[in-house]
Structure 1
Amino acid sequence: MAGILDKIHAYAQSSLLPWGETGTIISNEAISMLAQQNTIPGHVVERQALAKSIYPLRYLRNMQSITIKGQQRLLESTVAQVGLGGLGGNLLEQFLRMGIGTIHAADGDHFEESNLNRQELSTLNTLNQSKAYAAIKRAEKVNPSVEFSATEEFLTVNSLPDFLAGADIVIDALGGLETRLHLQQSAAKAEVPLITGALAGWTGYVSVVIPGEIGPADIMGVNNEAEGILGCPAPSVMLIASLMAAETIKILTDTHPTLQGKMLVVDLASSTFETVIL
């Protein structure tokens, strides 16, 4: 990596940072070029830059909220995300922008017009397109430094173990409740923490499930009538996704406290947030 470091220094520039100090930065263009020239992922170049206190410009506004070490941990992390719909599309957008280095996702569904009210990846141009394909195209546009793959498949009990292999964290962005327990159990068998969230109308919940501990899927059942009756308004979807993303970042950067062993219940209609001990 010595050669890479020399090249990083060659493209780095001194700049006044947002928090008032003078520091060293490197542009996204330079990172992409170095990644291509050396046939390595952009997140590897970014990690090397941060190791020398050179800030990739795209993450500059992450700094002070998370540390250099925290950003490095995100860049070297692998996320396995199941679902690319309402919650999943919003989560993917945030993970790409925060700089999680490797993301594997799966969703066998296609976009339809009823998705347009809340799904980040759903546009007039992506109608009838597979959610996996739309996610790949979005990732290329937002952050090419991230190694992103998406499988056009509804995962099963049999296919989940292979999908989760090598992940540092599992994201439950499923719609409905039918298969959430299978995912929770598969994450536990893989000994990987799970971030889960769901909503119906203006209410929703978020939780962190550590392997061997109880999770929402153990107590919520599989009845999806609430979501069908109450709908999925965009503010609820985006808020639950943001809370899940925040818990993911905290787990990956070893920041406390988290919602481990708890369930945060949100009701936007009454503007209330309650924490339930599981």
Structure 2
Amino acid sequence: MAESLDAYIHRMMLPAPLPQGGLALALVPGAVAKIASDTGIPGWNIEATALDLGILPTRYLRNMHSITPEAQTRLLRSTVAQVGLGGLGGTIFEQLLRLGIGTLRIADGDNFEESNLNRQTLCDMDTIWRSKAQAARLAATRINPSITVDARHEFLTADTFPHFLAGCDLAIDALGGLTHRLTLQQCAAKANIPLVTGAIAGWTGYVAVIMPGQTGPAQFMGQDNGAEEKLGCPAPSVCTVATLMAAEAVRMLRGDVSPLAGKMLLMDLRQLTFETVAL
């Protein structure tokens, strides 16, 4: 009789020191990879099962005081659809990998170019001129191979958004510019899933959370990309907005209500101001 997954996990677990002191039963990344290779079960599923058994994947030990084991299990069993892998998208993608979002469905039809090196996390001297989707797949194998990544080298349209969003728990708008944001917002509403959106222009930016049927920034921001192109995209602005977006995504995936639902957070790093407005 084949060994059950629970039994295999118990056989591979080891005692590990906790950051706050003491020991816990834990599963190291190498053990997860071994079980996944032998069974064909995705790493995120193995880690979620381990958490159900009271065994902590060592990868997430430093999450545990901020994200409970129960919430971590929810993240591992979640599926997120993200559109865009540029400045915002690459930073969000890396954070979601490290946080343990089990399945990431991402799309971007662009290739990296030299001007992306100033702020795009996935762009470096090894990935320049490659497709952003390919760079994302490579990053996932380096950072967290337990995550299932469906990276698509394509520009989505009104016709392809619905299929892309189907079956997901949450959508992330990390598009460059404003042209397709309203279409994505409308398609997320039809899919009945929340949408986290954000944009930057120079040292300013915004983040918003749009629940199905709510008003979003795309309904009054228009489609003019001039502000971003004129004011530029400095890395601190990109990283700040991306981090806020990732935090809101995790908040909702673990079952909490976002304080930005139906609102927009406006930031200005030059003046160091943050202001929340109702939409």
Q: In structure 2, what is the equivalent of residue 147 of structure 1? A: 148
Distance 2:278 2:257 in 1: 17
Shift, 1:22, TM fit: 2.7
Distance 2:224 2:15 in 1: 57
Q: In structure 2, what is the equivalent of residue 189 of structure 1? A: 190
Shift, 1:21, TM fit: 3.7
User: Relative to structure 2, which stretch is displaced further, 175-184 or 251-260?
Assistant: 251-260
Residue identity matched to 1:108: G
Distance 1:27 1:111 in 2: 34
Deviations 1:102-126 (A, max 9, x none): 0010000011100000001111121
SS in 2 for 1:89: helix
Q: In structure 1, what is the equivalent of residue 84 of structure 2? A: 83
**Any conservation in 2 of the 1:86–1:237 contact (CA below 8 Å)?**
yes
Shift, 1:256, TM fit: 3.8
Q: In structure 2, what is the equivalent of residue 111 of structure 1? A: 112
Map 1:95-244; keep pairs closer than 5 Å.
Answer: 95-244=96-245
Instruction: Tell me, yes or no, if structure 1 residue 255 matches structure 2 residue 256.
Output: yes
Distance 1:118 1:16 in 2: 36
SS in 2 for 1:109: coil
SS in 1 for 2:261: coil
**Any conservation in 2 of the 1:197–1:206 contact (CA below 8 Å)?**
yes
SS in 2 for 1:92: helix
SS in 1 for 2:168: coil
Residue identity matched to 1:185: Q
Q: In structure 1, what is the equivalent of residue 65 of structure 2? A: 64
- Runs of 4+ in structure 1 deviating by more than 4 angstroms, as ranges, are none
Q: In structure 1, what is the equivalent of residue 56 of structure 2? A: 55
Distance 2:26 2:17 in 1: 9
Shift, 1:188, TM fit: 0.5
Distance 2:45 2:265 in 1: 35
TM-score for both structures, normalised by structure 2? 0.97
Shift, 1:20, TM fit: 2.4
Structure 1: gaps spanning 5 or more residues: none
Shift, 1:128, TM fit: 1.2
Deviations 1:206-258 (A, max 9, x none): 01100001011111111111101100000000010000000000000012443
**Any conservation in 2 of the 1:251–1:258 contact (CA below 8 Å)?**
no
**Any conservation in 2 of the 1:214–1:261 contact (CA below 8 Å)?**
yes
Give the percent of matched residue pairs that are identical in Structure 1 and Structure 2: 54
Structure 2: gaps spanning 5 or more residues: none
SS in 2 for 1:61: helix
Distance 1:36 1:61 in 2: 26
Distance 1:268 1:53 in 2: 42
What RMSD in Å do the two structures reach over aligned CA positions?
Answer: 1.1
Shift, 1:2, TM fit: 7.2
Residue identity matched to 2:173: D
Q: In structure 1, what is the equivalent of residue 277 of structure 2? A: 276
Aligned residues: 278
Cα separation, partners in 2 of 1:52 and 1:83, compared to 1, 3 Å: same
SS in 2 for 1:116: helix
Distance 1:26 1:156 in 2: 41
